Every structure is written in structure tokens, then in C-alpha cells.
Structure 1
Amino acid sequence: MSTTSLPIIARAEVRPDWLAQHTEAALEPDLPIIDPHHHLADINWGGYLEDDLLADLGSGHRIESTVFIQVGFAYRTSGPESLRPVGETERVVQIANAANASQQDTQICAGIVGFADLSMGAAVEEVLAAQIEAGKGRFRGIRCHAAAHDRFQYGVMHAPPLHVYLDPTFREGFARLAQFGLSFDSWAYHTQLPELTDLAKAFPDTAIVIDHVGAPLGVGPYAGQRGAVFAEWKKQLQRTAQFPNVSVKLGGLGMSVFGFPFHQQSKPPTSLELADAWRPYILTCIDLFGPERAMFESNFPVDKGTCSYAVLWNAFKHITSNMSADEKAQLYRGTAKRFYRI
């Protein structure tokens, strides 16, 4: 089946009126947090720019700083194709400077993770250098969208080729990340974890973080197979966690690709409902990687299709309610601070 004819899994769209049906006060409002994974957008998710981000950040949780993660936003419309993603970094720096000048509560986009086509091989060095220059001291790493499956496509974004992590030319480009002092964000499904593990083994000097707990799928051929998927996901994640250069982000579970039905309910879920559903995945990751290699993320505005910012962090805080102050300090702030050099 060609990628153009794959069935599309619709994402959970942001609906402000729906979200407004349930509000919560922030739990543990004094707990310092670095949000290491959010996006910005002109159009997608109804638009999500500095005012929208600041409104969410002001929902009661103590967000000290954030990290912007690439999403194909504000690319240049002219010039060499390979350098067009640099426009995203340039725009984010502009937004960050304006937002941080207007308020002192949160350092917006203290770190930036952008895009460079590592499949260019060694030629990607020009793009990496341009991204670092455009970042004005904020640029931290590269994310290449690798989430692909031969049975479905998530959302309407162009799906990447299958098995990109195993491609020799991609790896030639990937090898340049350590040279430039850059990390790598991996957005891939649980079915691709063996390929990521092989990549991590081949490049022990490159810091890698698994986005969205490694995305144990709950749609397409995996619908109704949660127990079997969980077992396979955990087995593969155990192998990946053996490599000390790999960390994991705890979040993204509000995306429809996980198969949770919350976004289809008449009313949005409470933080307790989310905590009950997400707890096995979050705790498994913490157990395998340890708090020093795990970091909570918002994945906003993508996860805003399922819950509000206040409710999301409350769900995480319910899950960690019995953990020590030191463990919480790592999970909510310390790991992200180290990984992204905030």
C-alpha cells in the first residue's frame, strides 16, 4: 500500500469551548518546572503563538522556562530548500525575545530544537551551523520526524520514509550532531524502538531523548490490543534504556495515536482520570530510565486536544504524589535543565 492511500488517524483537535467545561486549580503550585516540549503555530491547532502559550503557562503551575520543539513552523519561503527550516528558529527567537521582554515569570523558548535533514549526509553541516547561528545562543538540538507505519498515517502531515534511522546516509548526517554539540529528539512509534536502540548504540556520544514515552500505539492494527502493545513496548524500551546516552520524555499521551478516547467524550477528563490511564506508562519509564533520565513534557498545543495545561500537569503530579522531593526535582526540572543546558 502506498503512503498516499494509507488510512489517516485523525488527531485530537483543540476545542476551547469543550475544554472550558472542566477547570482545576494547580496542585503543588510551588514545584519548579521546566517544560521541555512545546510547539508554536500560525495555523495548526487553531494557531498557537506567544499569547496562547503565555495564557497556558499562567494557569497556576510554576513554569520557570520552556523548550521549543520543531514542528515545521515559519520556514523560509525562498532560498535553498535545505536551509528553509532555519526560518523556524529565526521566528522562535523573535517570539521569545518579545515574550520574555513582556514578562519575567517564565523564560519562553530558553532552548530551541529545530530541524535539519540528516538524510543529506555530511552536507547537513551547513544547515547545523546556520541553525546554531540563528538560535542566538538558544539552539540545542535536532528533531527529525520518523514516526511512520505501513498500515496507517497519523494526521495529515507528510509521513517520513520507513526505517529512516537505519539509513546509512541519515547516519552520516546524524554523526555530525556530536561534532556540533547538539542533541537529538526522537519522535517515533514503539514499533521503531529497535531501530532507535541500534542508533543509540552506534552513536554513544550523542545525547538522545525519546519523545512521548516511545509512543505505544493504540490505533489501526493496535486498537483493542493495549495489553499486548504494553508488553512489547516495555520489552523494547528496556533494551533502549540500557544505553546511558538515551533519556525519555514523559508526556504526549493526549495524542489520538495512543488510542485513549478522552477527546471523544462529551466533557474533558479530570486529572485523576488521566493519571489513572497514563500511570502505567509514566511509572514504567521512570523505573527503566530513573528520574535522572526522565522529564515531564506538555507537548502543547498537541495534547491540548485532550486537556488543559493546568489539568495536564495536575495529572502528572497525581502520578508522582508519593515520590520524594529529590525525585520530583529531577523529573520536573533537573533532567530537562541538564539535557537542554538551560
Structure 2
Amino acid sequence: MKFVDEATIRVEAGHGGPGHVSFRREKFIPFGGPDGGDGGHGGSVYAIADSGLNTLADFRFNRRYRAPDGENGKKANGSGAGGEDIEIPMPLGTIIRDADTDELLGEITPATPRLMLAKGGARGLGNARFKSSVNRAPRQSTPGYDGEARQLRLELAVMADVGLAGLPNAGKSTLLSAMSAARPKVADYPFTTLHPQPGVVAVDRLRNFVMVDIPGLIEGAADGSGLGHRFLKHLTRTRLLLHLVDLAPVDGDIEGQVHTIARELERYSPELASRPRWLVFSKADLMDAESAHELAAQTVDSLGWDRPWYVISAVQRSGLETLAFDVMQWLEDRQAEETAAQAVSTAADARDAEEAP
């Protein structure tokens, strides 16, 4: 199936059913009084998470979703049936915005697997609701109210722990295929990756993380060169970036690769540029191990790099095990820190609630 990460759809909630005006008329029961029932509520439209989906391709064919209207009220105080809610399956990582106002409605994540997109209209009231001591035969009712209707813009940001960044042909796809069961296209020409490709890296039986590869960036991507910045949004959900650097570039400028990617990340999002980023020097198999490590060390010293860095060969699978274990440990440490911070925050909130007058 073709990978699609953007789509526009229209959602329309159902209208509420109008209330009914009627009077009870039965033999031997004079002055039966009003018995018009209420209408039914209109159906609402929800987005729900579907872990089996990883693209928005389905929305190329079905762009309009409408929930049923509520039924009219009935006589004998009969209420109309409410319109059934409809649920639209969406992949995890879908960002939903109002296309007209650019309002962020929400994101489909494991923490928020269900999100209301359009609320159904309220029901109308029947004339039985308006009976009183001074108005014993009301002939009034209220109509059902319109449901919400919205034009929505969907954007898919792949859910992953680790993102791969680098120039075209830096070896990102080769690394992903060597560390996971993913099989991205690998070739000796640039831009072999045309859409994000996630893969699960198993460190051991019960420990794994998700890594995503995106099309390579080039100088001027922010201005539309190459494939531009379109796919950088798939790195915004990652917690760690692995910046692949070719040890044997055609132009021989190893440091330039690092500066180019750093500039493009900054131009796209300062927050993304400040995310933890490790250098991974690839294609070490093109020279002997000692020369590869020495060249990488010289580059790190020249850059003044004070973060982790690695020298690997995805073809020979050297350095991959160390990289995978270090990444897994880093992710687990961050998760533990966040869990501890959340526990402290929860305890503080509970304490404040107890102390409140």
C-alpha cells in the first residue's frame, strides 16, 4: 500500500431530532393532556486508534464521514432514537487539525486512543416538556439542533523511539535493515528512501525499541531542495536522533555533513534541533578499523563534540550491538526518570489537595 502521511477529510455529526407535538386522546379519558416526546440526539464522529494501520492511504478514497441524525419525537411520550456514533480508525501518531482555523483538535496516541471530532446536535423537546399549571395544553416544541461539521487536516507522524537523520546515501536504510526486520530499499544512489520506514530493533527477548528512517536531507531542504522538510515531522515524536555521517563522502567533507544536518534541523524546528543527538560514523568497512576510528576521533575533536559517538559498519555488522544496547539503556533511563518525576508530581498534587481548606 502506498505510504500517505497527509490527508483532508470532512466530518459531519448528525442533527438532533425535533420534538413532537401531540395530545393524548383515549376514550373515557378527557383532557388527556400533551404527550409529545423528545427527539433523539444526533450521532457524533470519533477518531479511534487502530494499531493495524500505518498510513492515511484509506482517506484518499473516502473523504466524507457523516453520522446519522436523531429521529423525531413520537406521540405517547415516545422519544426518538438517537443517531449512532461513528468511529473512524486512524493510525497511531495521527495529528488532527481544523483545516479552516488550524486549531489542533488532538493526536491519536496510546494515551488518547479515542478523540471526538464532531459533536452530534442536541435533541428537540416535545410539548409534554412545556406543560405547567398555567399552560396545560402547550402547542410548542423545539427543533433539533445541528451537529458540528468540520473540514479536517490529518498529518501522520510515525510513532518511534529513535530517528535516523543524515544526508542521502549516509547509510540510514542499510543500518535499519541490519538492526531490524525492516527491509527498506537500499541502493548506491541518493534518495532511495522516499517515505518514512519504521523498524523494531530487538536488543534481547524482552527489550526493544522502534527506529524510523526518513528520506535524506540536503543543503537547502528548508527551501524545497531534494525532498524538502516534508518528512521531518516524523522525527518530532522520537526521543533520540542518530545522526549518520559517511566516513568516505565523495567530496571528502565529513564535518560538512554534520553542519548541514544541524542547520536544517534548526531551520525546521529549534526544539527538534535541541533534541539529544548522537553521531554515528558509517561505512567503516571502506577502510581498516584503526583508520576509521582515528578519522572519526579527529572529526569529533574538530567539531568539539561532547555527546556520544560511534563508528559502525552496517554491512559487516560491526559496532551495531554496542549501539543498540547503549540506545536501549538510554531510553530505559529516560523512562525511569520520567516515571519518578511523575510519581513526585502526583504525590505533590495529592498533598496540596489534602492541605487545601
When normalised by structure 2's length, the TM-score is 0.30
Choose 1 or 2 for highest CA Rg: 2
**Greater fraction of residues in strand:** 2
Identify the structure with the greater helix proportion.
Answer: 1
Bigger RCO of structures 1 and 2 (CA < 8 A, at least 6 apart): 1
